[in-house]
Each structure stands twice: as C-alpha cells, then as structure tokens.
A and B are shown apart, each in its own frame.
Chain A
C-alpha cells in the first residue's frame, strides 16, 4: 500500500466498553509500533512487534491494553474496560526495507465518555 493506514479514524465509546483499533502497515515492513498521544501530552510508546520475535510490551500502561499482529502484517490494539484517561490519539507506525525509519499512520482518535 501507499502508506500506513489505521481504522477507525475516530471512535467514541462509553466507559467500561472494549475497543479494537486496527493498523495496516506498509507492505513488506517487518516492524510495527503503537504509540498514543493524550491531550496536552507528548508521544508515548506502547508496544513494538518485530517479525516473529516476542513483542516489546514495555510501554503498555496496564493489563487492560493488549495487541496482536496476525500473519506478520495487520495489528490490532485492544483496550478492555475503557477508562476516560484512555482518551487519546493512537498512532501506528511501521518500518522495514533495510531502514528503521518509521512511517506513521494517520491515527485513531479515541474518546471515552
């Protein structure tokens, strides 16, 4: 594809509900990253996938957050029992092709009411 895509672009949910955010990386990119940016805050690393290796989950803020990457391509970030503080823009990036430069998707804006 031309770039990293994410869906949905916007998600409004009620507190306590589960949400799934999707990321389609650039075709052929072996590395995939999730970040979030909360209102008024900087960019925060969440999780990193590299090929078939175990993901680096060191940035996940709580056990309500999890992510999967199926077939080494598409990734889903799941937030269970959402809280208002989970409201943020969730960004996905991928890298590969001999360089570790990251290419970012447009993000998903999550609002928890």
Chain B
C-alpha cells in the first residue's frame, strides 16, 4: 500500500530562514509528485509538479527535488516569509492520488 509521509509535522521559524520540508513514499512507482500549500478555508494551491522522469523543479524561492530510488522528495523554501505560513502537502500519483500527511509551517516576523 502506497503511503506518503511528511516530516516534520509542524515547523515554526523566524522569517529569513531557509527551510527543507521532507516527503517520503513507500512505492517508487509514482507517475509524478506535486507539492501544494493549503491555507485555512481555501483550495489547494499548486506549487511545483515533478514528473517521474525529472529530478527537480524550481519556482521563485521554491525548489523541489525527487529521488524515486530512495522514495523521497524535498521542498526547499529560501528566505522564508510570514506569508509562507500554511500547510504544505505532497501528493504522489500512481493509479490514484496519495496525499501526504502535511507539514504545518509558521513563519513569524
């Protein structure tokens, strides 16, 4: 059974810090992996999508990597800001979507 685990479950940091959020999955047979942020009361916002043939994607201060052989993906947030406060989800796709457990991030001024 495919499981997606995120570590840490919660993180609280002062602004300006560089952060690494981790996502691990048990089955390397994923088609793609996607990182989202979820803000209270809003829909999921897609951040980065990594196809199984890719190793990383970058958008602004965000960088996501994918290592299928080790079953891991990381989301790197550079120079964190209070506006980055949200829950971050990684979602793996096999023949269905497998949602990670989420990391709740708080960035304080």
Contacts and interface: CB of A to CB of B under 8 A. Distances in A.
Interface string B46-57: 100101000000
Interface string B14-47: 0000000000000000011010101011111110
A45 B49 contact: no
B97 A102 contact: no
Contacts, number: 44
A48 B5 CA distance: 27
B75 interface: no
Interface residues of B, number: 18
B31 A35 contact: no
Interface residues of A, number: 19
Interface string A6-17: 000000000000
Contacts of B49: 41-42
